[in-house]
Amino acid sequence: MSDRTTPSRRSVLAATAAGAAVAALASSPAHASPADRGATRAGLKRLISRMSLEEKVGQLFVMRVYGHSATAPDQADIDANLREIGVRTAAELIERYHVGGIIYFVWAHNTRDPHQIAELSNGIQRAGLAQPTPVPLLISTDQEHGIVARVGRPATLMPGAMALGAGGSRSDARKAARIAGTELAAMGIRQNYAPVADVNVNPANPVIGVRSFGSDPQAVAGLVASQVRGYQGAGIAATSKHFPGHGDTVSDSHHSLPTIHHSREEWEELDAPPFRAAIAAGIRSIMTAHIVVPALDPSGDPATLSRPILTGMLREELGYDGVVVTDALDMAGVRQKYGDDRVPVLALKAGCDQLLNPPNLGVAWNAVLQAVRSGELTEQRIEESILRILLLKYELGLFRNPFVTPGGVDRTVGKPSHLAAADRIAAETTTLLADPAGLLPLSLRGHRDVLVVGADPASPSGTTGPPTGTLAKAFTEAGFTATALSTGITPTAARIEQAVAAAAGKDVVVVGTYNVSSTSPQRTLVSRLVATGVPVVTVAIRNPYDVAQLTGAGVAASLATYSWTDVELRAAVRVMTGGADPRGRLPVPVQRADDPARVLYPVGHGLSYRGTRR
């Protein structure tokens, strides 16, 4: 990349008179003197004063855009951009709306491979610096790991939150975040919407579940703080979500507006500790939740639009003065009570800074403009948010050099030491829930021929294949003879019969289960396989609650991996084949299926081989 298209490490603010003072500051604001920090704020305020109102409003928005390139996306992505945003490319989006950030998605074709991501990031930054007021963009994504990963192989995929909760190691959680953050930064992604700070106290929660570290508020708080330090030590902004806490819902805010019925005292005990810990750890951004919490705000407004929650509690009571970013504004939870033209205005009035992914950017952008022009929002109010956003960009070094290099990608992304660390950390997470007959670990002498069946949910980008195939491959690499047969999340009667027939003559059947319910045909699949007389081992590849639905079915052993990603499935096979001891411990309780008031397996449950091998 030439200096013409990718400037050197000089400050991009040097192009403006207002930026001259900022450009002269030391590159590490965290260690700057109070006088220097004051000068930084003064320089950024002068920069804001030179912006037009349209530019100021644009800085508040973080928007999706289709395409692998900022200037030359595929025609299908151009068509999608024209249909949804009214522009052809990311560069045109920035030129028209002056947006302050871009969010990457797999489905938007932003994340094909690390080098493409890096060049897309550089193209976005070039477009930002070409504006009348040159300001770098803050590029973000949801790289939680586990079941939510926007950047896949060859990047390093780490165990997800609940797996790390099962491992219980704060140092491993910090190491995983440090590695993940380093790789994101190498690709130009400098804000990660992780870690999840929700405490999953409701097994029926359809949207959080294994995205949470667990059900114990103090344990979750410790892991959240560790990940904040890991990500931010790698030079990116971590984002704790979803304030004030999304862990006790029975509906999904993507599709409806959930209500949490915790009292203020319950909120303090259950939901607040991870957010307090994140703030104490120096979290740079916090994401809101599209949930109603009547004890915190009786108005019925979602937290994203609630001034009592965001300004009264988060800013004034908890003392947080970093960036507040909304959860995506195209989600149903924030759109049920107000129209798309009112939501962004109300979010700013509540105390938000960044407005994430509105369904119609033109409507949202013009609504904020009109609110300022009419006096409903003051220019001073939006400048408060812009200053927080620009300070974050400055602290991340984006005003000095927002660009990344191919060499940096090669040296950093998916390097062997990172992959080895992922495997080591994953080895601590697999939980052996039940092994009543002492079947595990499997031996080559007695269990060489393995059939792997079960669910194959849509896998995150970059996995080597569906879970059944990944498990079978790992068994084969361990010296076993393994056959994979996908039966799906809702196996048909014909598919169940096919699995039963395939089990004939096998030494063991491994079934990958996925969120088994009382009516799930996965229960029938497991029962029919048990009836063949072949030992059956179940592996819960998402929520660990599946074992409760299968208790009494005659299963020989049950494990939980908390995700279907390669790194966790490989670790599970090492456990099943004796290559590693099961060390994971449940970070959530598993209630009995026939009596949810009674606990089948408590927090902390997990079996060990105690060093035995076969």
pLDDT, tens digit, 9 for 90 and up, residues 589-598: 999 988 888 9
- Residue predicted with more confidence, 295 or 18: 295
pLDDT surpasses 70 at 1: no
Contact 158, 174 (CB under 8 A): no
Give the DSSP letter of residue 130.
T
Any alpha helices (H) in 209-271, and if so which ranges? 217-233, 264-266
How far is CA 387 from each of CA 273, 373, 392, 493, 536, rounded to the nearest angstrom? 28, 20, 8, 60, 59
pTM exceeding 0.75: yes
Residue 487's pLDDT band (cuts 50, 70, 90): very high
Residue 457's pLDDT band (cuts 50, 70, 90): confident
Q: What tens digit of pLDDT does each residue of 197-224 get? A: 999 999 888 889 999 999 999 999 999 9
Give the DSSP letter of residue 602.
-
Which residue type sits at 151?
V
CB-based contacts of 93: which residues, under 8 Å, 6+ apart?
Answer: 63, 65, 81, 85, 87, 99, 102, 361
CB-based contacts of 335: which residues, under 8 Å, 6+ apart?
Answer: 329, 343, 359
- With vertex at residue 603, the alpha carbon angle to CA 601 and CA 605, rounded to the nearest 5 degrees, is 55
Contact 151, 414 (CB under 8 A): no
CB-based contacts of 420: which residues, under 8 Å, 6+ apart?
Answer: none
Task: Round to whole Å and give the CA distance between 113 and 154.
Answer: 7
Which residues partner with 259 through β-bridges?
292
Task: Round to whole Å and give the CA distance between 16 and 373.
Answer: 26
What is the chain's mean pLDDT, rounded? 91
Phi-psi region of 533 (alpha: psi -120 to 50; beta: other; left: phi over 0): left
Q: What tens digit of pLDDT does each residue of 384-432 get? A: 999 999 999 999 999 999 999 999 999 999 999 999 999 999 999 999 9
Task: Round to whole Å and give the CA distance between 196 and 562.
Answer: 15
Closest CA to 561 of 158, 142, 162: 162
- For residue 206, what are its two tokens? 């359809």
Catalytic residue among 77, 297, 327, 581: 327
pLDDT surpasses 60 at 177: yes
Q: Are strands 237-243 and 285-288 parallel, antiparallel or unpaired?
A: parallel
Local structure of 85: helix, strand or coil: coil
CB-based contacts of 342: which residues, under 8 Å, 6+ apart?
Answer: 367
Let me know if 410 is a catalytic residue.
no
Domains and CATH numbers, the chain: 12-412 (3.20.20.300), 430-601 (3.40.50.1700)
Looking at residue 213, its pLDDT comes to: 97
pLDDT surpasses 50 at 474: yes
Local structure of 387: helix, strand or coil: helix
* φ/ψ (deg, to 5) at 231: -60, -50
CB-based contacts of 470: which residues, under 8 Å, 6+ apart?
Answer: 463, 464, 564, 566, 569, 570
H or E segment and range at residue 139: strand 138-141
Q: What is the dihedral of CA 26, 29, 30, 33, to 10 degrees?
A: 70
Tell me how crowded residue 363 is: count the other CB atoms within 10 A of its CB.
Answer: 14
Q: How far is C-alpha 369 from the chain's CA centre? A: 31
* φ/ψ (deg, to 5) at 328: -55, 130
Closest CA to 183 of 146, 230, 138: 230
Contact 391, 44 (CB under 8 A): yes
Q: What tens digit of pLDDT does each residue of 513-539 get? A: 999 999 999 999 999 999 999 999 999
Closest CA to 434 of 598, 613, 586, 541: 586
Half-sphere exposure of 117 (CA within 13 A, CB side): 32
Closest CA to 393 of 66, 36, 13: 13
